[in-house]
Structure 1
Amino acid sequence: MGNNTEIISDLKGLVNIVNDGKEGYESAAETTDSVELKAVFRQYAAQRSGYAIELKKHISDHGGESDNEEGGILGALHRTWIDIKEALSSKEDAAILGAIETGEKAAIEKYDKALEDYATHADHIELLQRQRTGILEALREIETYHHRLADQ
């Protein structure tokens, strides 16, 4: 198992990205006029909030603390990009979905990087795998909505 400093750093990075996702989904829910998409976005915002709580417990178990309720630098960039896209596209759902896809792909990459280091994350590898699967399922659902809109 890796040292606690490395574990805590990796997990804090994941807390940042799931908080980015939560904020992105909350912004998207506020922006879209689609009742169906609002519900989907709120569901995934709640899911990400739960993921952050789970990750923070593991940070605490390793002697660290994470009081971060907001995303990181990468998230700020994604939120800015979503804001710009929303302004330019007059609440166009396809643009919102495209921005969410970008964020979800970044989250999966971050999880993949943590999962590569199996020895370091052995005590919470199942948690990371489960959360990564949840994010991948969300990405697939978002892509389905995006393709459906594109085909209209």
Structure 2
Amino acid sequence: MENEKSIGNLKHLLSICNDGKEGYKTAAEDADSAELKTLFSMYSIQRAEYEMQLKKAIHQLGGDPDNDTGGPVGALHRVWMDIKTAFTKNDDKAILNACVTGEESALEAYDKELQDPGISPEIIEILSVQRNGVADCLKNIEALKTQYAS
């Protein structure tokens, strides 16, 4: 029973990583700045790596990471949909604002999953590293947001 809960939690984070990966891919395509294009491409690759790690962890717990039986991701998914819509303007400042919103939501999801007392130390390690990567990304994007505000 505990494995099923952990698998469900990891699948939720897997969906979040996928949304982030796609969001950053779109951001890289639509940003005007070469600096931002490169940065967003790197973040998209990072999220793809996170996806692979989560899929491996789900598989190790006996779950099927490719069989998404859960419901929609909900609010976070809508946030990334809003981000994708913001990219149509090719406005670097708007893109950065949207990325901050997405990263704050992702960070919230990681924090919630890390509070689950039933997760194994190995999964805690994976999630902690990923959470710190999301936090670093958020910090960097917030700094760029200030830079591009002027």
Give the Å deviation of 1:65.
1.1
Give the Å deviation of 1:82.
2.1
Aligned residues: 147
- SS for the counterpart of 1:48 is helix
Give the Å deviation of 1:91.
1.1
5+ unaligned residues in a row in structure 1: which ranges? none
Counterpart position of 2:66: 67
Higher relative contact order (CA 8 A, sep 6+): 1
Give the Å deviation of 1:75.
4.8
5+ unaligned residues in a row in structure 2: which ranges? none
Counterpart position of 1:40: 39
Deviations 1:24-62 (A, max 9, x none): 100000101211000000000000000000000000001
Counterpart position of 1:86: 87
Aligned-residue CA RMSD (Å) = 1.9
Report sequence identity in percent: 41
Give the Å deviation of 1:81.
1.2
Give the Å deviation of 1:118.
3.5
**Native 8 Å contact 1:115 1:121 kept in 2:** no
Paired AA for residue 22 in structure 2? E
TM-score, length-normalised on structure 1?
0.89
TM-score, length-normalised on structure 2?
0.90
Give the Å deviation of 1:86.
3.2
Paired AA for residue 33 in structure 1? D
- Once residues 93 and 64 of structure 1 are traced to their aligned partners in structure 2, the CA distance between those partners, rounded to angstroms, is 39
